[in-house]
């Protein structure tokens, strides 16, 4: 059912013309042509998790978007760009994120429509875990979704790429509710796979992964940029992520990829992929988030289950960099953070370790404390 082909090109700089050339070639080699777009509603889903400079490596780089828009322009396509960032889903927040991430200018240049419609629509799907999702309206209405993500480490899901990026099709604070509904680490990742599979079943999905400069460490927003130097394109987000986990040296450590393997959504190994173009090298010493510490999917899943396991889970805490802005208080699905004496305080007894607080803190003030036991088993394979 799903393609096992991924087009890959080495690319080390954010040059929109060179990126357009690469994406155009990827489309040709993957058989993506005018017929896919003719008379269709085309929606680009970037990764704009929060208002961040492109240099922070947390969001889709504007040059990637410009390159893609240039290619679509050649097909006569004027797409909509739609994203539900972290936090409240409002037109004002969307505007701030579009401008703050620098995607307003390329959109204007190529006549793309920035979405400000904050309606959503429930879509039924017979998933392994989830039977329906509430989806932002432009994505629910789309015929073609172009999922253009930045490759990053991720405190909760270990890696964020094409599959995780589609979690941003769930509106605003309903994402926090999903964290509360699926506190179990494995279930949250099963939900992500169901969501991506739903889109792939109902629409044409093209996954483009920006791995020119990735984020390592405490991604998706509190890590550090790391130059890797690739662009990946595939008609199968699961296959693209299988290769992405190898590129950053996370093979066997990304739960959503493990689930994709088990469910037959991608091959068992990246060796079985058909790679068109450059064969990517695996990066050395790509830092994992503090939450994983090198642990395998098995170890992480064990520690996310049951009362005893949770006792040993890594714990978030606010450092002296906290400026009491209250963003984490508003983002916490368990309402377990309060502001006291000018600083965020986390009551960890009610914490489900979703790490939304770390993801959405604008000042990188949330750190993760791991105890002796989890450090010890961190390297269980």
Give the interface with ligand SF4 as residue ranges (CB under 6 A).
Answer: 316, 318, 322-328, 331-334, 336-337, 344, 346, 351-357, 361, 363, 365-366
Q: What is the DSSP string of 106-149?
A: HHHHTTPEEP----EEEEE---SS-SEEEEEHHHHH-SEEEEEE
Residue with smaller CB distance to ligand SF4, 240 or 374 = 374
Q: How far is the CB of 321 from ligand SF4 (least distance, A)?
A: 7
| Beta strands, E only, the chain | 5-10, 42-46, 80-81, 113-114, 120-124, 132-136, 144-154, 158-160, 204-216, 224-234, 274-277, 315-318, 337-340, 343-346, 366-369
Q: Phi/psi of residue 32, each to 5°?
A: -95, 115
Instruction: State the minimum distance, in angstroms, from the CB of residue 169 to ligand SF4.
Output: 21
Which residue stretches of 203-333 are H helix? 237-247, 255-262, 297-303, 306-311, 327-331
Q: Which is nearer to ligand SF4, 75 or 317 (CB)?
A: 317
Is 283 or 366 the residue whose CB approaches ligand SF4 more closely?
Answer: 366
Helix (H, G, I), strand (E, B) or coil at 337: strand
CB of 59 to ligand SF4, least distance (A): 18
Residue 363 CB, nearest distance to ligand SF4 (Å)? 4
Q: Which residues pair with 269 in a beta bridge?
A: none
Q: How many CB atoms lie within 10 A of CB 87?
A: 20
Q: How far is the CB of 329 from ligand SF4 (least distance, A)?
A: 6
CB atoms within 10 A of CB 312: 17
- How far apart are CB 293 and ligand SF4 at their closest, in Å? 16
Residue listed under structure tokens 């405490």: 218
Rounded to whole angstroms, the Cα distance separating 312 from 304 reads 9
């Amino acid at each position: 059912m799903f393609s096992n082909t991924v087009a890959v090109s080495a690319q080390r700089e954010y040059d929109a013309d060179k990126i357009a050339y690469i994406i155009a070639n990827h489309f040709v080699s993957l058989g993506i042509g005018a017929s896919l777009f003719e008379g269709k509603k085309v929606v680009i889903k970037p990764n704009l998790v929060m208002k961040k400079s492109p240099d922070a490596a947390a969001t889709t780089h504007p040059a990637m978007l410009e390159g893609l828009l240039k290619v679509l322009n050649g097909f006569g396509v004027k797409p909509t760009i739609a994203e539900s960032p972290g936090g409240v889903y409002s037109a004002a927040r969307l505007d701030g994120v579009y401008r703050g991430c620098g995607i307003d200018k390329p959109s204007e240049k190529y006549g793309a429509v920035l979405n400000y419609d904050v309606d959503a629509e429930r879509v039924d799907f017979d998933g392994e875990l989830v039977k329906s999702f509430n989806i932002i309206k432009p994505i629910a209405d789309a015929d073609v979704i172009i999922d253009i993500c930045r490759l990053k480490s991720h405190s909760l899901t270990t890696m964020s790429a094409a599959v995780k990026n589609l979690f941003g099709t769930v509106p605003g604070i309903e994402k926090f509710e999903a964290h509360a509904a699926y506190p179990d680490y494995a279930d949250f990742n099963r939900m992500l796979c169901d969501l991506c599979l739903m889109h792939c079943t109902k629409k044409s999905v093209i996954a483009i992964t920006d791995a020119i400069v990735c984020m390592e460490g405490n991604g998706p927003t509190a890590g550090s940029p790391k130059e890797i130097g690739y662009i990946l394109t595939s008609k199968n987000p699961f296959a693209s992520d299988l290769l992405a986990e190898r590129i950053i040296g996370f093979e066997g450590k990304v739960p959503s990829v493990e689930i994709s393997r088990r469910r037959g959504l991608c091959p068992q190994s990246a060796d079985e992929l058909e790679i068109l173009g450059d064969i990517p090298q695996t990066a050395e010493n790509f830092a994992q988030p503090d939450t994983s510490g090198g642990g395998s999917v098995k170890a992480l899943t064990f520690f996310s289950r049951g009362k005893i396991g949770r006792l040993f889970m890594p714990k978030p805490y606010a450092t002296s960099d906290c400026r009491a802005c209250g963003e984490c208080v508003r983002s916490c699905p368990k309402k377990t953070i309060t502001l006291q004496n000018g600083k965020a305080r986390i009551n960890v007894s009610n914490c489900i370790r979703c790490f939304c607080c770390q993801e959405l803190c604008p000042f990188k003030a949330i750190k993760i404390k791991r105890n002796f036991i989890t450090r010890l088993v961190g390297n269980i394979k």
